[in-house]
């Protein structure tokens, strides 16, 4: 199964994760990194009665173009504030390849910072997985260019960004 990494309708509540999508074919399971090991997820595609809209065992996934720089502690910077509300310290996260849609590893969130886009780039860019191990004079500018290449110029008009720090756990 390929994981759906569009988390627009996925929310974290005190009770666990939920989906706010009204689409009948959009079960929370489609976005979950546990879908192959979960009995509920196996049944969900075959029955509209089994459409899962909330789950305390949900494993969020974050998509990456490359696993470069993900050997120990690293961050990923996402445009917007949404990811600051989707993960918290201690959350286990599936790391997904954008090429295959499959999980290639896991991380555990150990810090989350949200703020102005340029401030996040300047303050946390040097720890981004794409820059780790590289000699970069101005990491804030370098990570801004990486984000622009990933998200496009229009998305870079967003005023906010989120830096998610993780330890690679497998």
Quote the distance between the C-alpha of residue 56 and its chain's center. 18
pLDDT of residue 29: 86
> Does 30 share its domain with 91?
no
Q: Count how many domains the chain has.
A: 2
Q: What is the pTM of this model?
A: 0.90
Nearest alpha carbon to residue 133 among 86, 66, 63, 82: 66
- If asked whether residues 27 and 107 sit together in one domain, one would say no
101 plus 159 within the same structural domain: yes
Residues 118, 159 within the same domain: yes
How far apart, in whole angstroms, are the C-alpha atoms of residue 88 and residue 110? 8
| Within a domain: 73 | yes
| Shared domain check, 138 and 88 | yes
Element (H, E) at 46: none
Please check whether residues 91 and 36 belong to one and the same domain. no
pLDDT at res. 41: 64
In a domain, 149, yes or no: yes
Reduced to 3 states, what is the DSSP secondary structure of residue 43?
helix
Name the domain boundary from 23, 38, 55.
55
Question: Are residues 51 and 67 both part of a single domain?
Answer: no
Q: Same domain for 34 and 73?
A: no
pLDDT on residue 30: 86
The answer to whether residues 49 and 67 belong to one domain is: no
What pLDDT tens digit does each residue of the chain (170 aa) get? 678 899 999 999 999 999 887 766 678 888 999 988 887 766 555 455 567 889 889 999 999 999 999 999 999 999 999 999 999 999 999 999 999 999 999 999 999 999 999 999 999 999 999 999 999 999 999 999 999 998 888 777 889 999 999 999 99
For 135, what's the count of Cα atoms within 13 Å in the CB-facing half-sphere? 0
Q: In this structure, are 77 and 154 located in the same domain? A: yes
Whether residue 45 sits in one domain with residue 88: no
Residues of the domain holding 25: 10-55
Contact 92, 32 (CB under 8 A): no
Same domain, 74 and 112: yes
Sign of CA dihedral 102, 84, 161, 19: positive
Assign residue 86 the CATH number of its domain. Answer: 2.30.130.30
């Amino acid at each position: 199964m390929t994981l759906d990494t569009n988390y627009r309708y996925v929310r974290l509540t005190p009770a666990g994760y939920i989906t706010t999508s009204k689409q009948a074919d959009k079960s929370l399971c489609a976005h979950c990194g546990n879908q192959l090991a979960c009995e509920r997820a196996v049944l969900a595609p075959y029955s509209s009665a089994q459409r899962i809209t909330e789950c305390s065992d949900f494993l969020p996934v974050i998509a990456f173009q490359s696993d470069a720089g993900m050997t120990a502690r690293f961050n990923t910077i996402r445009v917007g504030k949404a990811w600051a509300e989707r993960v918290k310290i201690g959350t286990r996260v599936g790391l997904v390849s954008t090429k295959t849609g499959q999980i290639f590893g896991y991380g555990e969130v150990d810090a989350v910072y949200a703020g102005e886009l340029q401030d996040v780039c300047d303050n946390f860019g040097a720890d981004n997985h794409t820059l780790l191990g590289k000699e970069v004079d101005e990491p804030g500018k370098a990570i801004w260019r990486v984000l622009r290449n990933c998200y496009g110029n229009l998305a870079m008009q967003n005023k906010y960004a989120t830096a998610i720090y993780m330890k690679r756990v497998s």
